[in-house]
Amino acid sequence: MGKKKAVKKEKKKKPNEKVVAKKAVKQKKKEEEEKAKQKMKSMKEKAKKAKKKKVVKEKNVKKAAKKKVKKATKQKKEKKVKKKTKKAAKKKNKNKKNKKVKKQEKKKAAVKMVKEEEKKVKKKKKAAKQEKKPKEKVAAKKTAKQKKVVKEKNVKKVAKKVKKEAKQKKEKKVEKKVKKKTKKAAKEKNKNKKNKKVKKQEKKKAAVKMVKEEEKKVKKKKKAAKQEKKPKEKVVAKKAARRQSRFMRAPLPQGHFFQRPDSSEKLEKEAQVFSPAPLRRVMYLQFIQVDPTVSY
């Protein structure tokens, strides 16, 4: 009895191989699942990072585009404002100039009037004095005054001349500028005209080319259609005629071998000279009137 119990105990201690194998498979499966999970997790994280990167990149691109647009609009606005201010300043200066000129003209007119009035008063005073003064003194004074007047006139004349020359110089300068501008404008106009002409010609050429190509296609189609319509006999006859024309040569001279009347004796002589095959050739050549001595 004691021996049997010992055997049983030993049996219990031995592990079951099937159970061990199952456990190992389970363990392996578990490990594989964990590995797969970790892989998926890492892939998801990578995807998340890539997405984040992409979003950041897109945001940066959008920001840069916005910045660019903002800058461009700002520059445009500044340009517009500059242009407007320039125009306004020009107009203001023009108006100022006109006002100044008008003021000067008014001043000049007023000074002229005052001077004329003063002259009149002086004349009256002079007339009154002359009535009182003796004649000799008056004559001497007159000559002195006349000299002074002549001198003043000469000075005025010189000043007028100088002024005139300056004005002419200014006008010439302006004219030169205008001419230059008109010349430049005309040059540009001619250039545009030339470009237009060249474009027109190119278009025309292209159109002509297209029309010609279309005509060629139509001709080809017609030719093909004609060839389809032609009967086979005609084509065969044409080919035969073409083949025969290859053997045709210039007309033979008078009294030639083939132009003499044939006789049986001649043929017999020829038969003696030539073997049967060349004789047939001679007869054929005689038939189509070709010199047998010439090699073709």
> What are the tens digits of pLDDT across the range 73-117?
988 889 888 888 888 888 888 888 888 888 888 888 888 889 998
Whether 237 is in a domain gets the answer: no
- pLDDT at residue 24 tops 60: yes
Residue 50 token pair: 């890539």
Q: Are 149 and 119 in contact (CB under 8 A)?
A: no
Q: Looking at residue 260, what DSSP letter applies?
A: S
Q: Mean pLDDT across the stretch 239-267?
A: 55
Which token pair is 167?
Answer: 């004005």
| pLDDT at residue 68, as a whole number | 87
**221 or 285, greater pLDDT:** 221
Q: For residues 156-178, give the mean pLDDT.
A: 87
Beta strands (DSSP E) in the chain are: none
Asked whether residue 252 is domain-assigned, the answer is no
pLDDT of residue 244: 63
What pLDDT, on a 0 to 100 scale, did the predictor assign at position 3?
Answer: 54
Element (H, E) at 243: helix 232-247
**148 within a domain of the structure (yes/no):** no
52 assigned to some structural domain = yes
Higher model confidence: residue 16 or residue 124? 124
Cβ atoms 51, 59 nearer than 8 A? no
Q: Would 275 be classed as within a structural domain?
A: no
Top-confidence residue, 29 or 128: 29
pLDDT > 70: percent of the chain: 72
Predicted pLDDT at 280: 57
The string over 187-215, giving b where at least 16 C-beta atoms fall within 10 Å of a residue's C-beta and e elsewhere, is: eeeeeeeeeeeeeeeeeeeeeeeeeeeee
Which of 93-107, 142-156, 193-207, 220-234 shows the lowest mean pLDDT across its residues?
220-234
> Which of 255, 69, 156 has its CA nearest to residue 61?
69
- For residue 141, pLDDT over 50 is answered with yes
What is the number of structural domains in the chain?
A: 1
Domain span at 88: 19-117
Is the pLDDT score of 258 beyond 70?
no
Q: Is the pLDDT of residue 292 over 60?
A: no
* Distance between CA atoms of residues 208 and 155, nearest Å: 79
* 67 in a structural domain: yes
Cα separation values, 38 from 146, 270, 281, Å: 125, 111, 100
289: left (phi over 0), alpha (psi -120 to 50) or beta: left
Mean pLDDT on 281-290: 59
CA distance 37 to 33: 6
220 within 8 A of 228, measured Cβ to Cβ: no
Percent of the chain predicted with pLDDT > 90:
3
Q: Which amino acid is at 117?
A: E
* Residue 3 maps to a domain: no
Residue 40: pLDDT over 80: yes
Average pLDDT score over residue span 29-33 = 90
Considering all CA atoms of the chain, what is the largest pairwise distance in Å, rounded to the nearest integer? 196
pLDDT of res. 197 = 86
Quote the pLDDT of residue 259.
45
Q: Residues 67-76: what's their mean pLDDT?
A: 89
3-class DSSP state of 264: helix
Domain presence at residue 64: yes
Tokens describing residue 267: 């043929």
pLDDT at 224: 81
143 has a pLDDT exceeding 50:
yes
